[in-house]
C-alpha cells in the first residue's frame, strides 16, 4: 500500500515555478529476521540522535552539519555501531528537528501584561527549551542510492542494515505509478514501524509551472478561521459561506476528557493509551483540515487568491482568552490553525491558485462598510457586529471575512503589505 502526503516550496528566483514535494509511504513485506535487523538499527539510530540532540542543546544549538561532523562523527560510529552514512544522517535528522521546533516557537510568542495592563509579547527562540529534544520512536533516515535503492527493474527495494543489505517486496497501486515515471526525483527516506508493520516514507520532488496570475486573479476569497465557525469565507460576489465547528469542538472535548481521566490514573497502561489517543486525535484533526482545504480549493477553482490572517501568536493571546471559559481557552490553544493554513497553501499552489497572509490588526473590530474601528462594536455573546457609526449589522465572523477579503483586494491593487490602521482622534 502507498499513501501520498503533499507539501510545496516556492521558487523565489523564478516565481512562476514551484517545487512540489511529496512524501510517499510504502509498506514493506518483511521476514522476521529482517524485522529484527530493522528494529536494532532503528533503536541504535534513535539513541544516536538523542546523543547528538544533547550536544546541540548544550552547545548553543549549532546547525552546521560540517562542524557537528568534525566533533561527533567518530564517537557516533564507535558508541552506537552505525555505518558511515547512517552516522552522518543522524546529524541532519537532529538539526532538521530543531529547525522545525524553532519555527513552532516563532508561531507562538510569549505574551504578558505590562504595568499599564497592555499585552506585550516576546519572540520565543530555542533558548526557551528547558531540555533537549528526545527521539523516542525508533526510526532510521536512509539516503537515496546509499542506504536504499530500487532494484530488479523496480520490483524490489534494497535497504541497508547494520549487516548485509536486504531486498524486499512492496506494492505500487496503479494510481501511484505516476510518481515513478522518471520526472520525480527521490530523496531521503524514513524507515519506521507502526503496529508491527514496517514502512518506508520516501520524499519525492518535482518542479512545475504555476499558472496563478497575481495581477488578475479570478477570485479573491477572504478566509476567517475560528471555533464556532471553523472557516468563514467571503468573495467578490458577496457570497459568504460558513463551515460549522460545533461537531469538531464536541469531539475535541471528548478527547480532552478521556486524556484527563487517563492522566489522573498515571498507570503504565494509561500512559500507553494516552499515546494511542494522541496519535488518533492528530490523525483525525489532520483529516478535518485536509477536507476543509480541499473543499475551498475545489469550490473556487484555479487562479484564486485565498487571503488569510497571519495568526502567529494570536490563538495564544491571553488578552483574547481572558473572557472565555476554561474549556474555550483550551479549544483556542489546541486548534490546528497553522496546519489548516499549510494544507490550504499546498493545495492552492497545486491547483494554480495562491495563498497570502495579511496582518490581523482590527479585522474583527472594523466596520466593512464605513471603516470605523471600535472594539465594542463586536458582541461576542450574540456573535454580532453592530457599527455605532453607520449602523451596519452582521454576523461577527462574516465581518471578519469581509475585512480579510478587502485586504486581499488591496494586495491585488498593488499594496504589498496591506493592513488596517486605527486613526487617532483628537
The rounded distance, in Å, linking the Cα atoms of 313 and 322 is 15
At 127-140, the pLDDT tens digits run 999 999 999 888 89
Single pTM value for the model: 0.73
Q: Report the Cα 137 to chain-centroid distance in Å.
A: 20
- Does residue 16 or residue 330 have the better pLDDT? 16
- Per-residue pLDDT at 295 exceeds 80: yes
- In 3D space, the residue among 5, 6, 9 whose CA is nearest the CA of residue 208 turns out to be 9
- Residue 2 in this model has a pLDDT that exceeds 60: no
Q: How many residues does the chain have?
A: 426
Strands 219-225 and 304-309: parallel
- What's the pLDDT score for residue 333? 47
The better pLDDT of the pair 61, 336 is held by 61
pLDDT for 328: 45
Amino acid 337: pLDDT: 76
**pLDDT tens-place string over residues 17-29:** 777 788 888 999 9
Q: Does pLDDT of 305 surpass 70?
A: yes
pLDDT of residue 313: 57
Measured CA distances, 226 to 92, 200, 272, 278, 300 (Å): 37, 36, 32, 22, 21
CA distance 24 to 321: 40
| Percentage of residues of the chain with pLDDT beyond 90 | 53
How large is the average pLDDT for residues 353-362?
Answer: 91
pLDDT at 327: 47
Q: Give me the pLDDT at residue 14, please.
A: 52
Of 81 and 314, the structure prediction assigns the larger pLDDT to 81
Q: Which of 160, 155, 159 is nearest to 170 (CA)?
A: 155
Alpha helix positions (H), 232-377: 246-265, 268-300, 318-321, 326-334, 337-350
Q: How confident is the model at residue 350 (pLDDT cuts 50, 70, 90)?
A: confident
The residue among 177, 170, 176, 130 whose CA lies nearest residue 150 is: 170
Q: What is the pLDDT of residue 318?
A: 39
What DSSP assignment string belongs to 191-214? EEEETTEEEEEEEEEEEEE----T
151-193 per-position pLDDT tens digit? 998 889 999 999 999 999 997 767 677 788 888 899 999 999 9
Greater confidence (322 vs 134) lies with 134
With bands split at pLDDT 50, 70 and 90, how would you rate the model's confidence at 86? very high
Average pLDDT over every residue of 77-90: 96
Whether 245 has a pLDDT exceeding 90, the answer reads no
Which one is predicted more confidently, 286 or 368?
368
Q: Parse the chain into domains and list their residue ranges.
A: 2-209, 219-412
Say what the pLDDT of residue 293 is.
93
Put residue 371 in one of left, alpha, beta given phi > 0 → left and psi -120 to 50 → alpha.
left
Angle among Cα 307, 311, 314 to the nearest 5 degrees reads 150
Annotate 55-94 with DSSP letters as a single string.
Answer: HHHHTT----HHHHHHHHHHHHHHHH---HHHHHHHHHHH
Q: What is the pLDDT of residue 335?
A: 54
Q: Which residue has the higher pLDDT, 286 or 307?
A: 307
- Determine the pLDDT at residue 180: 84
C-beta of residue 211 within 8 angstroms of C-beta of residue 352: yes
In sequence order, which residues have a C-beta less than 8 Å from that of residue 86 and are 6 or more positions away? Answer: 41, 45, 48, 140, 141, 147, 160
- The pLDDT value given to residue 3: 42
Report whether 420 contacts 366 (CB < 8 A): yes
Determine the Cα–Cα distance for residues 140 and 86; give it in Å rounded to an integer. 8
What's the whole-number average pLDDT of the chain?
A: 85
- What is the structure's pLDDT at 249? 77
How far is 118 from 115, CA to CA, in rounded Å? 7
- Buried b / exposed e over 235-274, threshold 16 CB at 10 Å, is beeeebbbbebeebbeebeebeeebeebeeeeeeeeeebb
> Cβ contacts of residue 263 below 8 Å, gap of 6+?
270, 274
Greater confidence, 300 or 335? 300
Q: What's the confidence (pLDDT) of residue 15? A: 53
Tell me, what's the pLDDT at 332?
Answer: 45
Per residue in 94-127, pLDDT tens?
999 999 999 888 877 888 888 888 878 888 999 9
Q: How far is CA 45 from the centre of its chain?
A: 25
DSSP run (H or E) holding 356: strand 354-358
Amino acid at each position: 500500500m502507498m499513501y501520498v502526503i503533499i507539501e510545496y516550496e516556492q521558487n523565489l528566483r523564478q516565481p512562476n515555478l514551484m517545487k512540489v514535494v511529496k512524501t510517499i509511504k510504502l509498506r514493506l513485506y518483511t521476514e522476521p529476521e529482517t524485522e529484527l535487523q530493522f528494529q536494532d538499527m532503528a533503536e541504535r539510530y534513535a539513541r544516536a540522535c538523542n546523543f547528538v540532540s544533547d550536544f546541540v542543546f548544550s552547545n548553543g544549538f549549532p546547525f552546521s552539519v560540517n562542524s557537528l561532523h568534525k566533533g561527533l562523527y567518530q564517537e557516533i560510529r564507535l558508541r552506537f555501531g552505525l555505518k558511515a552514512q547512517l552516522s552522518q544522517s543522524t546529524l541532519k535528522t537532529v538539526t532538521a528537528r530543531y529547525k522545525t521546533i524553532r519555527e513552532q516557537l516563532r508561531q507562538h510568542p510569549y505574551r504578558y501584561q505590562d504595568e499599564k495592563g497592555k499585552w506585550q509579547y516576546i519572540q520565543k527562540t530555542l533558548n526557551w527549551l528547558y531540555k533537549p529534544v528526545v527521539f523516542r520512536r525508533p526510526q532510521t533516515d536512509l539516503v537515496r542510492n546509499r542506504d536504499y535503492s530500487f532494484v530488479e527493474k523496480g520490483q524490489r527495494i534494497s535497504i541497508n542494515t547494520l549487516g548485509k543489505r536486504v531486498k524486499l517486496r512492496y506494492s505500487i497501486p496503479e494510481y501511484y505509478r505516476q510518481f515513478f515515471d522518471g520526472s520525480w526525483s527521490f530523496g531521503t527516506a524514513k524507515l519506521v514501524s507502526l503496529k508491527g508493520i514496517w514502512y518506508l516514507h520516501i520524499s519525492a520532488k518535482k518542479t512545475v509551472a504555476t499558472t496563478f496570475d497575481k495581477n488578475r486573479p479570478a477570485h479573491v476569497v477572504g478566509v476567517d478561521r475560528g471555533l464556532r465557525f471553523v472557516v468563514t469565507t467571503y468573495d467578490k460576489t458577496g457570497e459568504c459561506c460558513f463551515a460549522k465547528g460545533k461537531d469538531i469542538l464536541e469531539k475535541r472535548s471528548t478527547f480532552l476528557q478521556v486524556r484527563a481521566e487517563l492522566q489522573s490514573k498515571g498507570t503504565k497502561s494509561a500512559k500507553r493509551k494516552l499515546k494511542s489517543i494522541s496519535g488518533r486525535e492528530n490523525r483525525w484533526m489532520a483529516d478535518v483540515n485536509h477536507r476543509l482545504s480541499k473543499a475551498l480549493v475545489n469550490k473556487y477553482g484555479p487562479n484564486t487568491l485565498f487571503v488569510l490572517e497571519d495568526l502567529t501568536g494570536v490563538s495564544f493571546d491571553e488578552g483574547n482568552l481572558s473572557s472565555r471559559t476554561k474549556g474555550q481557552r483550551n479549544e483556542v490553544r489546541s486548534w490546528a490553525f497553522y496546519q489548516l493554513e499549510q494544507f490550504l497553501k499546498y493545495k492552492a499552489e497545486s491547483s494554480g491558485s495562491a495563498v497570502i497572509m495579511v496582518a490581523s490588526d482590527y479585522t474583527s473590530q472594523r466596520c466593512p462598510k464605513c471603516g470605523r474601528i471600535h472594539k465594542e462594536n463586536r458582541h461576542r455573546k450574540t456573535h454580532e457586529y453592530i457599527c455605532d457609526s453607520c449602523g451596519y449589522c452582521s454576523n461577527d465572523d462574516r465581518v471578519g471575512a469581509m475585512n480579510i477579503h478587502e485586504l486581499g483586494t488591496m494586495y491585488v491593487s498593488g499594496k504589498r503589505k496591506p493592513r488596517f490602521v486605527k486613526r487617532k482622534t483628537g
